[in-house]
C-alpha cells in the first residue's frame, strides 16, 4: 500500500487546467521519477502533493503528516548568498520537531555531524553557503532534508548543476532512504539517471499522466527527456559562484 495516492486528480494553475484525471499510487520505499516536457505539470503536481495547491477535481490522499513531507526545490529558487553556514542550514532541518522556538541541543548537533559526514561535507561545516560549489550546496541541502527525517521526499531536478561525484553520493543517499521505507518522488530530465535511480516512472504529457517503468522509457524515449553522457553536463558545475 502506498502512503500517497491520487484519485481522479485535476490541478489548475491560474485558471488553466494543467493536469487531468491522474490516478495512481506512489509505492512506499521506492523512487518514482516524474518525467515530461516543460510545462507538462511536474511542478504543479509537486505543489499539489505538498498541499500548496488545491485540486480542482478529485483528491490527493496522503497518509504522511505535513511535517514529515520534505520538498527540495531547484537550487536556483533559493537565495544561497544568505550569510549562513552549512551546519546552520543542516540544522534548519529540525524545524518539524523544533519549530521557531525550541533550542537545539547536543543530540541534534551530533545528528547534524553524522548527516554531514555521510554527505562528505564535514570539512565544510562552517563555510558560508555563498562560497560553496553547486555540488557542495546540493549536498548541504540534502543534509537539511535528511535532518527532517522525511517519510515523503520530493525533489526537483536534484542533479542539475552538480558534479558527478556528488550525483553518486546523493544517489546512494536516496537509495538508502528508499530502503528505509521513504516514499521518494523526483523530477528528472536525464535518462541515464533515470535507470540508475528510479523504480517507477510517472510520465506527464499534455495534461495526462501515464505510469510506466524506467526500461520502457529508455526503449522509447519521449519528449522532455534527454540522453546525456554522464561525463558531459557537469564538468564546470563545480566551480564556486561568486
Q: Residue numbers of the site for another protein (CB under 8 A)?
A: 14, 50-52, 66-67, 69-71, 73, 77-80, 82-85, 89, 92, 95-96, 100-101, 120, 123, 128, 130
Closer CB to another protein, 26 or 71, in the complex: 71
- Give the C-alpha separation, 79 to 168, whole Å: 25
Closer CB to another protein, 166 or 193, in the complex: 166
CB of 196 vs another protein, minimal distance in Å? 22
Burial class, 153, CB count within 10 angstroms (exposed 0-12 / middle 13-18 / buried 19+): buried
34 close to 187: Cβ distance less than 8 angstroms: yes
Helices (H) and strands (E) in the chain, counts: 8, 9
CB of 132 vs another protein, minimal distance in Å? 11
Helices marked H in 185-240 — which ranges? 191-197, 214-219
CB of 2 vs another protein, minimal distance in Å? 20
Closer CB to another protein, 10 or 74, in the complex: 74
Contacts of 114 (CB under 8 A, 6+ apart): none
Closer CB to another protein, 24 or 120, in the complex: 120
CB of 232 vs another protein, minimal distance in Å? 21
75 close to 52: Cβ distance less than 8 angstroms: no
Contacts of 1 (CB under 8 A, 6+ apart): 25, 28
Beta bridge partners of 223: none
CB of 158 vs another protein, minimal distance in Å? 14
Closer CB to another protein, 52 or 216, in the complex: 52
Amino acid at each position: 500500500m502506498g502512503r500517497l495516492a491520487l484519485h481522479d486528480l485535476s490541478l489548475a494553475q491560474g485558471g488553466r487546467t494543467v493536469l487531468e484525471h491522474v490516478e495512481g499510487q506512489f509505492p512506499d520505499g521506492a523512487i518514482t521519477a516524474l518525467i515530461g516536457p516543460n510545462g507538462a505539470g511536474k511542478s504543479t503536481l509537486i505543489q499539489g502533493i505538498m498541499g500548496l495547491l488545491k485540486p480542482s477535481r478529485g483528491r490527493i490522499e496522503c497518509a504522511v503528516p505535513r511535517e514529515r513531507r520534505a520538498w527540495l526545490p531547484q537550487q536556483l529558487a533559493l537565495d544561497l548568498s544568505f550569510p549562513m553556514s552549512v551546519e546552520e542550514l543542516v540544522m534548519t532541518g529540525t524545524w518539524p520537531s523544533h519549530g521557531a522556538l525550541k533550542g537545539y541541543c547536543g543530540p541534534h548537533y551530533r545528528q547534524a555531524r553524522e548527516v554531514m559526514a555521510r554527505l562528505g561535507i564535514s570539512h565544510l561545516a562552517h563555510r558560508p553557503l555563498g562560497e560553496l560549489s553547486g555540488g557542495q550546496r546540493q549536498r548541504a541541502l540534502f543534509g537539511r532534508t535528511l535532518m527532517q527525517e522525511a517519510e515523503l521526499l520530493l525533489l526537483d531536478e536534484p542533479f542539475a548543476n552538480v558534479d558527478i561525484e556528488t550525483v553518486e553520493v546523493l544517489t546512494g543517499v536516496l537509495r538508502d532512504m528508499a530502503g528505509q521505507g521513504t516514499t521518494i518522488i523526483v523530477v528528472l530530465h536525464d535518462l541515464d539517471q533515470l535507470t540508475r535511480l528510479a523504480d517507477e516512472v510517472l510520465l506527464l504529457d499534455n495534461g495526462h499522466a501515464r505510469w510506466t517503468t524506467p526500461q520502457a522509457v529508455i526503449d522509447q524515449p519521449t519528449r522532455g527527456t534527454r540522453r546525456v553522457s554522464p561525463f558531459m553536463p557537469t564538468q564546470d558545475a563545480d566551480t564556486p559562484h561568486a
